[in-house]
Amino acid sequence: MRLLRQLELGFRDTDIPSVVAGAGDPGAAVGPESFRAVFSKHQDVDLEEKARELLRTNGACRIAMEIRVEWNARLKTCAGRADYCGKLISLNPRLCDHGATEVDRTLRHEIAHLLAHFRTGHRRILPHGVEWRQACQDLEIGDEKRCHTLPFPISERVQRYLYKCPNCQRDFPRVRRLRRAVACLTCCRAHNGGEFDARFRLRLVSIR
Ligand SMILES: [Zn+2]
Ligand SMILES: [Zn+2]
């Protein structure tokens, strides 16, 4: 089974690995916690219908018939996942904190993975290579970044490391020390078109 994670922790093939992280909102953890307690995994027929339609209009009728979309609370840090063999898209319930726009964008990001695979057949492709990029364009998210990171509070584990955005001062609690350059998504979006910007690189302020 091939799993394509939406959250790549940096670029494997560049000198300066970087990730853009979302802004931490401690208050946001309340809703999805209760949501997750009730639904560890559940199908979403509305999103499935949307995925079906998008695949169909892009010529992937065969997978459109089989596609399933589920919310899966077992996804901890990645926003979404696409499994081509199982024709399954899994979404992180914590995405709901970020509104319908982020849910839609993540769904399209994952559909783009399936579409890219469908179009190339058995040929091996890079997860976020040209085929995926083309699929993103066809799905009207042409500006999608391969590193699309959202803030997911991980409440089950102790968040020992507290990082801060030097610009907006938002907190980014993390379970592990960040091994790569990570910047605040909100500020990168506001001032640098969503691209990584070292000016907004998170700074470690305390360790518990
Ligand atoms: Zn991806
Ligand atoms: Zn910021």
Q: Is residue 39 part of a domain?
A: yes
Answering whether pTM is above 0.85, one says: no
Residues 182 and 127 in one domain: no
CATH number of the domain where residue 104 is located: 3.30.2010.10
Q: Which of 128, 48, 30 is nearest to 88 (CA)?
A: 48
Residues 196 and 165 in one domain: yes
Residues 36 and 13 in one domain: no
Q: Is residue 195 part of a domain?
A: yes
Residues 16 and 77 in one domain: no
Residues 18 and 32 in one domain: no
Q: How confident is the model at residue 147 (pLDDT cuts 50, 70, 90)?
A: low
How many whole angstroms from 205 Cα to the centroid of ligand 1?
30
Mean pLDDT of 109-134: 92
DSSP 128: T
> What's the chain's average pLDDT?
78
Q: How confident is the model at residue 96 (pLDDT cuts 50, 70, 90)?
A: confident
Q: Is residue 94 part of a domain?
A: yes
Q: What is the pLDDT of residues 19-66, one digit of tens each?
A: 444 434 332 222 233 333 344 688 999 999 999 999 999 999 999 999
Say what the pLDDT of residue 180 is: 85
Residues 107 and 206 in one domain: no
Residues 129 and 42 in one domain: yes
* Residue 148 to residue 95: CA distance in whole angstroms: 12
Q: Is residue 10 part of a domain?
A: yes
Mean pLDDT of 129-134: 94
Q: Which of 138, 168, 184 is the last residue of a domain?
A: 138
Q: Is residue 150 part of a domain?
A: no
Q: How confident is the model at residue 144 (pLDDT cuts 50, 70, 90)?
A: confident
How many whole angstroms from 139 Cα to the centroid of ligand 1?
14
Residues 68 and 133 in one domain: yes
How many whole angstroms from 68 Cα to the centroid of ligand 1?
17
Say what the pLDDT of residue 120 is: 94
How many whole angstroms from 101 Cα to the centroid of ligand 1?
17
Residues 11 and 32 in one domain: no
Q: Which of 138, 172, 198 is the last residue of a domain?
A: 138
Say what the pLDDT of residue 153 is: 54
How many whole angstroms from 162 Cα to the centroid of ligand 1?
27
Say what the pLDDT of residue 19 is: 47
Say what the pLDDT of residue 151 is: 59
Say what the pLDDT of residue 88 is: 96
| Structure-model confidence comparison of residues 1 and 107, the more confident one | 107
Q: Is residue 145 part of a domain?
A: no
Residues 116 and 172 in one domain: no
* Residue 62 to residue 17: CA distance in whole angstroms: 37
Number of separate domains in the chain:
2
Question: What is the span of the domain harbouring residue 189?
Answer: 1-23+155-208
Say what the pLDDT of residue 98 is: 79
For the chain, percent of residues with pLDDT exceeding 70: 74
**What does 34-71 look like in DSSP terms, one character per residue?**
HHHHH-SEEE-HHHHHHHHHHHHHTT-HHHHHH-EEEE
Residues 12 and 41 in one domain: no
Say what the pLDDT of residue 158 is: 64
